[in-house]
Structure 1
Amino acid sequence: MNSRLNEQQVIKGRVLTRHAVNRQGGLHLQYFVQTENGPVTVEIPNQEHVCFVQATDATALLASSELRGVRRSPVALSCFANTPVEALYCVDGRQQRNLNRAAKDLDIELFESDIKVEHRFLVERFIALDAEFYGHFVARTGTNAVSQQQPLFIASRARQAVSTIALNAISLDFECSFAGELYSVGLYGQTTEGCVYQKVIMVGEAEETDANYIEWVENEAQLINQLISWFAEYDPDIIIGWSVVTFDLALLYRRAKHHGIALTIGRDNHPLGWKVEDKYRPETLSLPGRVVLDGIDWLKAAFYQFDRYSLEFVSQALLDEGKAIHNVDNRMDEINDLFLNNKPALAHYNLTDCRLVWDIFEKTHLFDFAIERAKLTGLELGRVGASVAAFNNLYLPHLHRAGYVAPSKPASDGIESPGGYVMDSVPGLYQHILVLDFKSLYPSIIRTFLIDPKGLVEGLTQVEEQTVSGFLGAQFSREKPILPMLIKNLSEQRELAKAHHDAPLSQAIKIIMNSLYGVLGSRGCVFHDARLASSITMRGHEIMKQTRLWIEAEGYKVIYGDTDSTFVWLGNDFEQEQVAQTGKSLAEKVNQLWRDKLTQEFKLESFLELEFETHFEQFFMPTLRGSVEGSKKRYVGTKRQTSGELGLVFKGMEQVRSDWSPLARRVQYELYERLFQHLDVTTYLREIIDSLHSGELDDELIFTKHLRRNLEDYTAKSAPHLKVARALCDINQDQRFAKRGARIEYVMTLNGAEPAEQTSNLIDYDYYLSRQLEPIAEPILSILKTSFSEVATNQMSLI
């Protein structure tokens, strides 16, 4: 280490966490970076917060005595009102806050004042995850120069880089008592060589066991201290888990605080902390040098969907394996019993949970997805959501180089753009329905029609020949638009990813591209302008309507359309072997018509691409309940699987919704199977009604809901699952049923909703008939020229 001191060097690595630190009157940017030679702390001294103000407002704003230290400087930039701006520099966060307050008091606009300095430094240099830093290593001095600290590199500049450095991850999970006292912590991972690492730190006296991964400690405080030592030794870059922030790390923090233990599990001896006291959320977590990925959040970010997001449910769905415990739903009692009587079994359960989370991450490529998303967006590795911040990271450096600063607030106030196009459906039972989808329709519209915030500002001042017309008076400049260029780059990267079978990268790009319209349509984005959003959605309406006309001109019937999908009926007698070729030919015909139209009318290159997506051999489009009009976003069809078998596909129906009883969902599935296979439907329904009233189906009448927030935070209190949650708290004297995420099971009785395991009244079978079975059966029965009331009445007379 000493031989490296004061040498001018370059280090390259992956930026794990970012921080701004005020020290000795100066602002230092601090980046924790993993390099090929291990973790390094990079600091960039003498930095400043920066924002912008219109040049005409600068003098009045800086007249206050408390702002005398703010530095101003002319820059070659303008705001969207095309007036020059000056840059304002603050040496610390306090001065920046004073500046913001003064501007608000004087009603003076500040531009980009909310961009954190540690992010701006990277974004302006197009640095996302991987970077090169230029500077030198220095010796640490003072009381902080301890063995657990990593090398310190003082940098003067940085640039983007390409890196393939593998990051070291660990899956972490705690087991605890009802009161939250720690029993054990499980740690599971795999080295880059593929070797398994596993450890459980367990409170208790050492026992003879074959589980050589157990490390015994005397008490909870020793467990925490041993875990701190483990972090220093194993030194993971990434921590994964299931509700790992809101439960595991929050619990660890509270227990360490209870014992007065400094929880120094971050790098450089930094403690785990929270930016907002008692708000244990991913966005408030502070753990310098380590990235935390929660399995639930990242599955949702990658657009995986499950009825429930418990570890048991997701692991069973993805891995066909569940928790190593007998009674999952009442596992706390069993965990307590294992801690008292069979600690090795508890250690196995603890470690299994860790491994299940790891296997889910591996199965769904979440590690790769998180890394690719950070590389694409410039968001801090581990940050979920934040689509507005991702847009800013992508857009701002290009905007600045084009001579503009971002607006201080959205342009639109109360003017909203319409949503996606949804045409009226033609209800009925069909054979041979084609679904033709526009590939990434909204990004393609942005790219084709040059829709761009900067382009709108410039286009409104240009002559018509230099612009492309949008909607609500929008005109977009043809000169160097930024957003279409970004989409072009992303599209090309996605095609390369698909060619290389890089599914995580392809998925990350798809999600980012599709989020761009949503950002422009959100009032939370300073670039929001109804003219931008409407020029996307209203153009989409126009495209879908014209596409329908062209398809019907070919002699086919369009029965439905939704945002970017067109449903085409080929006719019930269409030849099966001609379906695929017809779908591809139709798509190419429409694509060519769009290329011709846009060249002739707009002098634009078309990036619209219609694809043959799906063939439903049989298809049912229901009516709206109580109406003859066709429904929207609801249908059922049979689709040939890769195995060659026909499978049922439900869209928007009760079958895919978790707020319907298992009975309703099963019956609906079987009804449509019978409909499509031309089997008897009414006899089957009568058998179900008979079994329902005889009590044979009681196990399928249980509703399951999870609290999305703590019980006291609900404004509407009358929902059945909330009523049952309150009852469970009272009956069991257990407030767990009032906490966010609590699983509530109930049935409908003659006295309303009651806990499934503690009913005091008879089940209300008529409720299940009229509110569960009738709504799902009626659409099918109407096709068969009968009704649920007729079927039910005939059956009831026989009971």
Structure 2
Amino acid sequence: MFVEKHGYLVTRHVRDVNGQIEMSLFIKTPEGTVKVLPDRQLSVFFSNAPLSFFYSCDRTVPIKGVSWAECAYRSFQHEPVVMVQSHSLMLHQQMVKFVKSAGYSVFEEDIKASNRYLMERHIRGSVRFIGEPDASQQTFRQARLIAGDWQPEWRVWSLDIETSVSTNTLLSIGVVARDQRVVFVVSSSSHTLFDASTTVVCYPDEKSLLLAFMNYVKQYSPDIFIGWNLIGFDLHFIDQRCQSLGLRPAFGVGGESWTIRSSENQGKYFATIPGRVALDGITLLKVGGYHFESYSLNNVSKEILNEGKLLQGSERWQEIERLHQEDLPAFVAYNLQDCDLVLRIFDKLKLIELQQTRVDLTGIPLEQTGGAVAAFENQYLPRLHKAGWVAPAWRDEDFVASPGGFVMSSRPGLYKNVLVFDFKSLYPSIIRTFYIDPLARIVAEDVSSHTASQVFSSNTSDLVPGFLGANFARHQAILPELVTELANAREAAKREGNSILSYAIKIIMNSFYGVLGSNVCRFYHAELASSITMRGHELLERTKCWMEEKGAQVIYGDTDSLFVRLPDDPIKTPEQQGNNLRDDINRRLSQWCRDYAGLDSQLELEFERIYERFFMPTIRGTDEGSKKRYAGKSKGKLVFKGLEAARTDWTPLARQFQRTLFEKVFNDENPIGFIQDTIDQLRAGAFDNQLVYSKQLSRPLSAYTKNKPPHVRAAAMIDQRRAEQGLPLEYNKGRQRVSYLYQSRGVVPFESDEDLVDLDYEHYIEKQLEPIAESVLPFFNTNMTNLLSQQFSLL
């Protein structure tokens, strides 16, 4: 008997079972997560090989489990294509190889069967399905699915482990959820209760602990694991210990094994857990557009929650091991607090809601935090198929980078009342206005050459000019329509106060340019991305000219923004002038688009802000204006872009020095006394705790073979000491931050306040304070050489 249910897609999996494709969809329902096996299990690709090719091959050696048929689609080369369906993944791969070896092209052969099945049915997250349940009601076969509207309440576990660095073993696993707090500990203690709300369960060894934790996961069945560096550390470590102890990591909903894998060239880790999802806090913060000097849990929790970890510092592993042996309640408290901090950060920033919103909009898997290309294809391919086309084949050709965003040379100086204008969603607006689209480009080529006039209108007025020789057929464009739908949905989300939805739509729309300009996307073509960026250049240059016609002085421009000085007006305020200039430019843009190609402008220039005071520096050592570097004060708030105060690789002293310096300059105070006093205090040791550099390794330490900058040398010193002590290396994976400072003998790693001795103060004056001070001292008719020589004469 078939049963109908609604739910939300958690994970998707495809494999061959007994020579047949098994597509497993794990779906969370109101009653729990179940396994759903769709009724139509096929793997599909397309080819320009004629039907006669397949029939002739089949007559020679019958091909079982594969079918082929003509379809209504065409390739981007305007050829008819054949659809090839296979009953197993192995047959699919063999057929792809077979067709390619005969010299024919294949299309969409890399799309997973489960992704195609869901994409064609417009299923993204929420689903409705009808299937035949087994006796346990946990597996539904012969199921049919359609898109649904049910929204789940996720069962979320914040997970954190503690390990012994000296023995490379697991000490504990902590779990915090809204209704439970539990710690599994390797200990001979008899603790079973920590406090009224926390359970502590002790086990004699790792194996017993891991088996108990697997049973606990199965019993209480979380939907989502969250943590900090969750997959790359916690789950990876648990997986390694399972392998070492001969245990199968049975963490799936039905006791299936998980898979923890890494991408060696990128240093990323991925987790596949049937029916469950692992989401890492650091990754989701970056997806959400959050920026921190350090993404350590201690730093982020201090900034977001105003609360840090119980143990801090590079030697905390020693204290963790001591607490585990001598003070189990304190050890448990430390483990649980990490779980608490992560859960509270996720809740406060609504990170799971953001991820689910991305799924609802694009259909990417719930566990996939990246995937801009996949998100694009999930939205674009169904529309492309509906229009009668298949996606282009992957091309082995040289990558041609499109020009970057517009950046004009600046006019350096210290200014008052600088107005900032920027284009609202510039690249998506260009796509909408000028019909930038992969299919529209192909159709336009054909219209221009009149090679398929029997299929397409050859009316060239349908074409919109692009760049690098491209044109776009406005009546065949898919992407502008998609962007318009997203833009309208974003405006609705703004009106409703749904900031999560608004932001999710924004990052999706803004990703389209990057996707079209990336050779990891099958739709990549240099003409597409260049027709976006070069149009942006043209629009910024045109807008600059229009502004200058109105008497404005454009002192800088960057990507979608212009920084403008207007002549003083005794009647109108700067804000009134800015509003008038914005309205005039938008009228001109609309008229220019109509005159250019009969286009309706979707371009909108916004008047973003006024900097009451603004500073644009020169390139150090020259008179030329810099780019992407400035400081300003707007409504009492200091803003730094690209300068030392905004850079985490400069010392805290330098960054605070610059902030205070510009406070004084922007308040029309002479900063010379402040500079001299700062130098005196530095030499007197008043700022020793602000002289620590911090910089991230971009790759594993062993990869630095030729050039070894200071942070690399400091990391090497730490790892050398650890190796001598028989401890695991700390910097062998890359992407870790290194703290260091300069003593009289040179670079040394910073590990504790005991390292703040024999500091090279002259290094900090020359390399940290002097470059910052020199940027403003010419406005006060002096320089650092004069200031330092005056101080020297007073000694």
Pairwise TM-score range, normalised by the shorter structure = over 0.9
Tell me which amino acid in the other structure corresponds to 2:154. L
Instruction: State the Cα deviation string for residues 52-103 of structure 1 (Å, max 9, x = none).
Output: 1113497279849889333221111111010111112222222223234334
- After TM superposition, give the deviation of residue 391 of structure 1 in Å: 0.8
Q: 1:553 to 1:376 in 2, by over 3 A?
A: same
Matched, 1:722 2:712: yes
- After TM superposition, give the deviation of residue 330 of structure 1 in Å: 2.3
Tell me which amino acid in the other structure corresponds to 2:244. H
Preserved CA contact (<8 Å) 1:430 1:572: no
Equivalence map 1:687-698=2 (5 Å): 687-698=677-688
For 2:53 and 2:538, locate their aligned partners in 1 and report how far apart those are by CA, in whole Å: 49
Q: Which moved more, 1:333-342 or 1:785-794?
A: 785-794
For 1:156 and 1:28, locate their aligned partners in 2 and report how far apart those are by CA, in whole Å: 12
Preserved CA contact (<8 Å) 1:250 1:280: no
Preserved CA contact (<8 Å) 2:7 2:128: yes
Tell me which amino acid in the other structure corresponds to 1:659. D
**What is the DSSP-based 3-state SS (H/G/I as helix, E as strand, rest coil) of the residue aligned with 2:45?**
strand
Equivalence map 1:397-412=2 (5 Å): 397-410=382-395
Q: Which moved more, 1:471-480 or 1:726-735?
A: 726-735
Matched, 1:663 2:659: no
Q: 1:574 to 1:80 in 2, by over 3 A?
A: farther
Counterpart residue number, 1:162: 149
Instruction: State the Cα deviation string for residues 234-256 of structure 1 (Å, max 9, x = none).
Output: 21111100011011111111122
**What is the DSSP-based 3-state SS (H/G/I as helix, E as strand, rest coil) of the residue aligned with 2:254?**
helix
Task: Select which of 120, 126, 133 maps to 1:130.
Answer: 126
Q: Which moved more, 1:234-243 or 1:702-711?
A: 702-711
Instruction: State the Cα deviation string for residues 353-405 of structure 1 (Å, max 9, x = none).
Output: 11111111111111110000011111000201111111111100111111111
Counterpart residue number, 2:640: 650
Tell me which amino acid in the other structure corresponds to 1:199. V
Task: Select which of 168, 172, 175 maps to 1:187.
Answer: 175
For 2:678 and 2:52, locate their aligned partners in 1 and report how far apart those are by CA, in whole Å: 77
Preserved CA contact (<8 Å) 2:239 2:260: no
For 1:445 and 1:410, locate their aligned partners in 2 and report how far apart those are by CA, in whole Å: 26
Matched, 1:303 2:304: no
Task: Select which of 175, 190, 196 maps to 1:206.
Answer: 190
**What is the DSSP-based 3-state SS (H/G/I as helix, E as strand, rest coil) of the residue aligned with 1:300?**
helix
Matched, 1:441 2:426: yes
Question: Structure 1: which 4+ aligned runs deviate by more than 6 Å?
Answer: 64-67, 276-282, 572-575, 758-761
TM-score scaled by structure 2? 0.93
**What is the DSSP-based 3-state SS (H/G/I as helix, E as strand, rest coil) of the residue aligned with 2:475?**
coil
- After TM superposition, give the deviation of residue 706 of structure 1 in Å: 3.3
**What is the DSSP-based 3-state SS (H/G/I as helix, E as strand, rest coil) of the residue aligned with 2:168?**
coil
Tell me which amino acid in the other structure corresponds to 1:632. K
Matched, 1:372 2:357: yes
Instruction: State the Cα deviation string for residues 284-323 of structure 1 (Å, max 9, x = none).
Output: 4221000111000010111111111100000001111011
Preserved CA contact (<8 Å) 1:726 1:737: no
Tell me which amino acid in the other structure corresponds to 2:746. G
Q: Which moved more, 1:457-466 or 1:131-140?
A: 131-140
- After TM superposition, give the deviation of residue 619 of structure 1 in Å: 0.5
**What is the DSSP-based 3-state SS (H/G/I as helix, E as strand, rest coil) of the residue aligned with 2:408?**
coil
Task: Select which of 777, 784, 787 maps to 2:783.
Answer: 787
- After TM superposition, give the deviation of residue 189 of structure 1 in Å: 1.7
Counterpart residue number, 2:564: 568
Equivalence map 1:753-772=2 (5 Å): 753-757=747-751, 762-772=758-768
Equivalence map 1:205-244=2 (5 Å): 205-207=189-191, 209-210=194-195, 212-219=197-204, 220-244=206-230
Preserved CA contact (<8 Å) 2:185 2:202: yes
Counterpart residue number, 1:737: 730
Counterpart residue number, 2:603: 608
**What is the DSSP-based 3-state SS (H/G/I as helix, E as strand, rest coil) of the residue aligned with 2:648?**
coil
Counterpart residue number, 1:588: 583
Q: 1:132 to 1:760 in 2, by over 3 A?
A: closer
Q: 1:203 to 1:280 in 2, by over 3 A?
A: farther
For 1:279 and 1:15, locate their aligned partners in 2 and report how far apart those are by CA, in whole Å: 30
For 1:66 and 1:241, locate their aligned partners in 2 and report how far apart those are by CA, in whole Å: 54
**What is the DSSP-based 3-state SS (H/G/I as helix, E as strand, rest coil) of the residue aligned with 1:519?**
helix
Task: Select which of 617, 623, 645 maps to 2:612.
Answer: 617
**What is the DSSP-based 3-state SS (H/G/I as helix, E as strand, rest coil) of the residue aligned with 1:170?**
strand
For 1:125 and 1:38, locate their aligned partners in 2 and report how far apart those are by CA, in whole Å: 23
Tell me which amino acid in the other structure corresponds to 1:187. V
For 1:668 and 1:488, locate their aligned partners in 2 and report how far apart those are by CA, in whole Å: 43
Q: 1:231 to 1:62 in 2, by over 3 A?
A: farther
Task: Select which of 321, 334, 341 maps to 2:326.
Answer: 341
Counterpart residue number, 2:507: 511
For 1:584 and 1:523, locate their aligned partners in 2 and report how far apart those are by CA, in whole Å: 41
Matched, 1:419 2:419: no
For 2:217 and 2:293, locate their aligned partners in 1 and report how far apart those are by CA, in whole Å: 35
- After TM superposition, give the deviation of residue 598 of structure 1 in Å: 1.4
**What is the DSSP-based 3-state SS (H/G/I as helix, E as strand, rest coil) of the residue aligned with 1:786?**
coil
Matched, 1:11 2:5: yes
- Kindly report the root-mean-square deviation, in angstroms, between the aligned alpha carbons of the 2 structures: 2.4
- After TM superposition, give the deviation of residue 554 of structure 1 in Å: 2.4
Preserved CA contact (<8 Å) 1:58 1:86: no
- After TM superposition, give the deviation of residue 483 of structure 1 in Å: 0.2
Q: 1:503 to 1:62 in 2, by over 3 A?
A: farther
Long gaps (5+) in structure 1: 1-5, 141-149, 191-195, 641-645
For 1:88 and 1:458, locate their aligned partners in 2 and report how far apart those are by CA, in whole Å: 25
Task: Select which of 197, 210, 234 maps to 2:180.
Answer: 197
Counterpart residue number, 1:543: 539
For 1:324 and 1:506, locate their aligned partners in 2 and report how far apart those are by CA, in whole Å: 36
Instruction: State the Cα deviation string for residues 149-207 of structure 1 (Å, max 9, x = none).
Output: x61112443222222222211100011111332222111122xxxxx432222232124
Counterpart residue number, 1:92: 88
Q: 1:585 to 1:62 in 2, by over 3 A?
A: farther
Tell me which amino acid in the other structure corresponds to 1:511. I
Counterpart residue number, 1:481: 477
Equivalence map 1:1-150=2 (5 Å): 6-7=1-2, 9-56=3-50, 59=53, 63=57, 68-69=63-64, 70-139=66-135
For 1:704 and 1:506, locate their aligned partners in 2 and report how far apart those are by CA, in whole Å: 35
Task: Select which of 328, 331, 350 maps to 2:316.
Answer: 331
**What is the DSSP-based 3-state SS (H/G/I as helix, E as strand, rest coil) of the residue aligned with 1:162?**
coil
Preserved CA contact (<8 Å) 1:27 1:45: no
Matched, 1:677 2:667: yes
Q: Which moved more, 1:630-639 or 1:84-93?
A: 84-93
Tell me which amino acid in the other structure corresponds to 2:709. A
Long gaps (5+) in structure 2: 448-458
For 1:525 and 1:608, locate their aligned partners in 2 and report how far apart those are by CA, in whole Å: 27
How many pairs does the alignment contain? 772
Counterpart residue number, 1:193: none
Counterpart residue number, 2:774: 778
Preserved CA contact (<8 Å) 1:467 1:476: yes
For 1:684 and 1:275, locate their aligned partners in 2 and report how far apart those are by CA, in whole Å: 54
For 2:695 and 2:121, locate their aligned partners in 1 and report how far apart those are by CA, in whole Å: 47
Q: 1:339 to 1:632 in 2, by over 3 A?
A: same
Matched, 1:752 2:736: no
- After TM superposition, give the deviation of residue 282 of structure 1 in Å: 6.4
Tell me which amino acid in the other structure corresponds to 1:346. F
For 1:736 and 1:670, locate their aligned partners in 2 and report how far apart those are by CA, in whole Å: 40
